[in-house]
């Protein structure tokens, strides 16, 4: 027997709280590390920039763990990827190994998403809860769990495809063009992937009969 809509609901924060939640999530995982990166670049060049960005992320993770008892998934992902990239760049000092960090970072993300996809807590579900403030007011709906597993596999596939693409570009393009292309491709893939994920989520909601409501507080 199909669950009634009123028995299964997704709860979102009010629009202003949603903006604050999303804004703070990206400030923690991208904005503050970027400041550390720029300061490092100004003080002592590329290696210091990489170390500065990674250090800021791990500091955020430590503070979050001490204050809230948990570390946001987006911060942890950013910290791990940035640490891998910094270790490669600093330990080798080679332009080739500096370039390798780009496909390796995406490969690490692909592996992380793929590792959680078949579990009961796929990574996208955790990120949705942390970044968007998405909450269910009752037990996890089977259709939504399938959606979160499927979209986690989608992101694992996207990051793997970027790994392959960046590996090819690394040996076929000049350094400046390679950096520009990796930035453009990354932004484009993230935007398209996020849009497709949102459409998929909307379709999953309609199909499952789950209701959506805004939190009262």
Read off the pLDDT of residues 189-206 as tens digits, 9 standing for 90 and up: 888 888 898 888 888 877
What is the structure's pLDDT at 159? 92
Q: Per the structure, how many domains does the chain have?
A: 1
**Structure letter (DSSP) for residue 5:** G
Tokens 């789950």 correspond to 210
Give residue-wise pLDDT tens across range 47-105.
788 888 889 889 988 988 888 787 777 788 788 878 877 887 777 766 666 677 778 87
- Flag whether pLDDT at 11 surpasses 60: yes
HSE (CB half, 13 Å, CA atoms) of 77?
A: 22
Give pTM, 2 decimals: 0.67
Q: What is the mean pLDDT of residues 10-24?
A: 65
Torsion on CA atoms 173, 176, 180, 183, rounded to nearest 10: 90
The domain of 158 spans 5-214
Q: What is the pLDDT of residue 180?
A: 75
Q: Token digits for 28? A: 């923690």
């Amino acid at each position: 027997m199909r669950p009634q809509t009123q028995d299964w609901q997704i709860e979102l924060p009010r629009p202003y709280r949603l903006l604050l939640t999303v804004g703070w999530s990206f400030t923690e995982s991208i904005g503050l590390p970027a400041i550390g990166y720029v300061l490092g670049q100004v003080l002592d060049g590329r290696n210091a920039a990489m170390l500065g960005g990674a250090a800021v992320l791990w500091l955020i993770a430590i503070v979050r763990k001490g204050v809230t008892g948990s570390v946001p998934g987006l911060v942890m992902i950013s910290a791990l990827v940035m640490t891998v990239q910094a270790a490669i760049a600093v330990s080798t000092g080679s332009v080739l190994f500096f370039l390798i960090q780009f496909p390796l970072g995406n490969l690490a993300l692909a592996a992380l998403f793929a590792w959680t996809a078949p579990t009961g807590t796929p990574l996208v579900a955790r990120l949705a809860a942390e970044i968007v403030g998405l909450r269910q007011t009752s037990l996890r709906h089977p259709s939504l769990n399938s959606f979160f597993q499927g979209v986690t596999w989608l992101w694992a596939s996207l990051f793997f495809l970027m790994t392959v693409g960046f590996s090819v570009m690394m040996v076929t393009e000049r350094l400046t063009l390679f950096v520009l292309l990796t930035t453009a491709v990354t932004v484009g893939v993230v935007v398209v992937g996020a849009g497709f994920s949102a459409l998929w989520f909307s379709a999953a909601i309609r199909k499952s009969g789950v209701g959506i409501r805004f939190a009262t507080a």
